[in-house]
Amino acid sequence: MNDRHRIPKIGVLFACLLLLTSACQSFILSSQAPPTGILRWSIEGVSDLPNFDPASISSQQSITVSQLIFAGLVRLDADLKVQPDGAERWQVSPDGTTYTFHLRPNLRFGNGDPVTAHDFVYSFNRALDPEHAAFGIREQLSHIVGVEEMVAGRASTVQGIRALDDHTLEIQLDSPRAFFLSQLALPFSFVVPRQLITQAGADWIEMAYGTGPFRVQEWRHGSEIVLTANPHYWRGTPGVAGIRLPFYPDSMEAYQDYQAGKLDITGSSQSGIPAARVAEVQALPDFRSAPALIVRYIGFNNRLPPFDNVFVRRAFALAVDKQTLTQQILSNTVVPTDRILPMGMAGSQLAVKGLAFDPVGAQAALNLAGYGGVQALPPITLTYGQEGDNAIVAEALRRSWRDMLGVEVILEGLDLTTFINRLDETYYHPEQGLQMYLSVWGADYPDPQNFLSQQLRTGSPNNNGHWSHAEFDRLVDQADQMGAQQQREQRLRLYHDAEQIAVTDVGWLPLYSPRVNVLVRPTVQGLVFTPQGLVANDWTRVRLVATEQDAT
Residue 198 CB coordination number (10 Å): 9
Q: Which helix (H) or strand (E) holds 390?
A: helix 390-405
Domain span at residue 327 reads 294-514
How far is it, in rounded angstroms, from Cα 329 to Cα 530? 26
Residue 51 CB coordination number (10 Å): 17
- Whether the predicted model's global pTM rises above the 0.85 cut: no
- Tell me, what CATH number does 432's domain have? 3.10.105.10
Q: What is the pLDDT of residue 300?
A: 98
Query: How, if at all, do strands 242-248 and 38-40 pair?
Result: parallel
Residue 245 lies in a domain: no
How far is it, in rounded angstroms, from Cα 215 to Cα 113? 14
Dihedral (CA of 282, 283, 285, 288) sign: positive
Could you give the count of Cα atoms lying within 13 Å of 29 in the half-sphere of its Cβ? 11
Mean of the per-residue pLDDT values of the chain: 89
How far is it, in rounded angstroms, from Cα 509 to Cα 338? 8
Could you give the count of Cα atoms lying within 13 Å of 185 in the half-sphere of its Cβ? 31
Q: What is the pLDDT of residue 22?
A: 33
Dihedral (CA of 441, 447, 449, 454) sign: negative
Residue 74 lies in a domain: no
- Say if CB 348 and CB 339 are below 8 A apart: yes
Three-state secondary structure call for residue 334: strand
Q: What is the pLDDT of residue 18?
A: 32
Q: Measuring CA to CA, which residue among 111, 122, 120 is closest to residue 86?
A: 120
How far is it, in rounded angstroms, from Cα 244 to Cα 225? 6
Residue 315 lies in a domain: yes
Q: What is the pLDDT of residue 19?
A: 32
Q: What is the pLDDT of residue 528?
A: 86
Q: What is the pLDDT of residue 533?
A: 76
Q: What is the pLDDT of residue 138?
A: 74
- Say if CB 212 and CB 229 are below 8 A apart: no
User: How many domains does the chain contain in total?
Assistant: 1
Residue 327 lies in a domain: yes
Residue 303 lies in a domain: yes
- Say if CB 176 and CB 481 are below 8 A apart: yes
Query: How, if at all, do strands 168-172 and 161-165 pair?
Result: antiparallel
Residue 89 CB coordination number (10 Å): 11
Three-state secondary structure call for residue 202: helix
Residue 304 lies in a domain: yes
How far is it, in rounded angstroms, from Cα 316 to Cα 350? 25
Residue 26 lies in a domain: no
Q: Which residues of the chain have pLDDT under 50?
A: 5-31, 548-552
Q: What does the DSSP 8-state code read for residue 509? A: E
- Say if CB 476 and CB 497 are below 8 A apart: no
Helix boundaries (H) for 129-263: 137-140, 147-151, 180-183, 194-200, 251-259
Residue 478 CB coordination number (10 Å): 15
Q: What is the pLDDT of residue 547?
A: 59
Q: What is the pLDDT of residue 23?
A: 33
Count H helices, E strands: the chain?
19, 23
Q: What is the pLDDT of residue 131?
A: 78
- β-sheet bridge partners, residue 168: 102, 165
Q: What is the pLDDT of residue 517?
A: 86
Residue 81 CB coordination number (10 Å): 11
Residue 221 lies in a domain: no
How far is it, in rounded angstroms, from Cα 92 to Cα 372? 59
What's the helix, strand, coil split of the chain in %, to 5? 35, 20, 45
Instruction: Give the distance from CA 367 to its chain's centroid.
Output: 38
